[in-house]
Amino acid sequence: MLSNQLIFIVFFGLPYINLAQSLNIKTGINTIEYSTADFENFKITMESLKMGSIQKVRILHIGDSHIQPDNLTGTTRKYFQEEYGNGGRGLVFPYSLAKTNGPKDYTAASTSTWINSWIINYPHKFKIGLPGIGIQSTPLSGNLQINLVKDSLKNPYTKGFVLYSQQPGNNGSITINNKFTKNNLGLPFDTLNFSSSSEQTLLSLNFKESPIIFHCAYFENNLPGVIYNSAGVAGARYKDFLNNDFFSEQLNYFQPDLLIISLGTNESFDPNYSEVEFQKVLDSMFTSIKNKLPETAVLITCPSENYRYRNGVLSRNLNIPSVTKVLRLNAQKYGFAIWDMSIVMGGEGSMLDWKKAGLVNKDHIHFLRKGYNLQGQLLFEAINEFVLK
């Protein structure tokens, strides 16, 4: 379990007692709640990876603006892979080509022009893949490159796949690394697998005679370890992912042993928020997940405390307890586990404490990078403690 002393060493350099008083993080509350049979199976899976009897454990983490930049999930990924091995980078989406922020450990480039569509903006311009943001090329032919080298970071791959769509009726094709080609089959979405006998860091994609909708790419290597996939959409709610055209259909492609969902913040700011309507959305979403991933462990993270300004006065968002209550009830109903960030942070008033410690953005909703880093470390420690029990 993460100790206050460890937080002090990694993040601050303040006297230990000052940190403990300012953040009120107690090791005993950073736990996974509602242990389920599926989560017990995930524990066995992690033990099997540690023992060498399996090669890969796959985690998929989806969420909103707290997840999109990959500061939180990037830290959790780092700790998992340091402890259990790096099985590959996993899901990658070229956020920069969609003109938005994303992970910092890879780059994307293209000489083509693209339009983007987000699941939060209705009607969707085109059908969107699992990440919740998609890009569509404007020319008939063009290219896209993803480089898994950024500064000193290098995350080579030996195999993977691309999820994409091309317009039905066009005689187009898609080629990866000048080796793997697939002709347009007119499917709602398609996949192209690729592999290499040696480690690679660059993926080069070329398409001809048909505009392409790029959903995402996936990378893994030949080493045993954890693959920590993540995808976030700023402003997203549960109902946006539920209304995502290909979300449930593409879940199986990532074969997650653990699915983590970090949503709920944007529901709490909806002026028309209703517990009854939220309950209906969760019923539909969780039923769909159960049907698609019957043996996958699911962890629901409850949103952190946050605040809003009313007439220039900072006030606590009173919808957070309601959102958390509905999430907890449905987690129990569907056999999902819970990690409650609001409690882990220190309970009521903790957002103000984290703000004083320099971890929170001035909007009192989002965190600064070091705040997300701390959250990511706490999430890893909570899951890992469960695994090691």
225 by Cβ neighbours in 10 Å (0-12 / 13-18 / 19+) ranks as buried
Q: Where are the domains of the chain?
A: 1-85+234-389, 91-223
Which residue, among 90, 89, 93, 131, has the nearest Cα to 114 in the 3D structure?
93
Residue-wise DSSP of 112-173: S-EEEEETTSSS-SS---TTSEEEEESSSSEEEEEE-EETTEE--EEEEEEEEEE-TT---E
The domain made up of 91-223 is a member of CATH 2.60.120.1360: yes
Task: Give yes or no for a contact between 207 and 174, defined as CB atoms under 8 angstroms apart.
Answer: yes
pLDDT of the residue at 367:
93
Give the percent of the chain with pLDDT over 70.
93
Mean pLDDT of all residues in 204-212: 96
Collapsing DSSP to helix, strand or coil, 200 comes out as strand
CATH number of 1-85+234-389: 3.40.50.1110
- 347-386 per-position pLDDT tens digit: 888 899 899 999 999 999 999 999 999 999 999 999 999 9
pLDDT of the residue at 1:
40
1-85+234-389 matches 91-223 in fold: no
Collapsing DSSP to helix, strand or coil, 221 comes out as coil
- 102-158 per-position pLDDT tens digit: 999 999 999 999 999 999 999 999 999 999 999 999 999 999 999 999 876 789 999
Give yes or no for residue 87 having a pLDDT over 90.
yes
Mean pLDDT of all residues in 220-247: 96
pLDDT bucket at 169, cuts 50 / 70 / 90:
confident
If you average pLDDT over every residue of the chain, what do you get? Answer: 91
Selected residue with higher pLDDT from 151 and 255: 255
**Spatial CB neighbours of 378, under 8 Å, sequence gap ≥ 6:** 2, 25, 30, 344
For residue 9, what is the DSSP state?
I
- 292-325 per-position pLDDT tens digit: 999 999 999 999 999 988 877 888 999 999 999 9
140 by Cβ neighbours in 10 Å (0-12 / 13-18 / 19+) ranks as middle
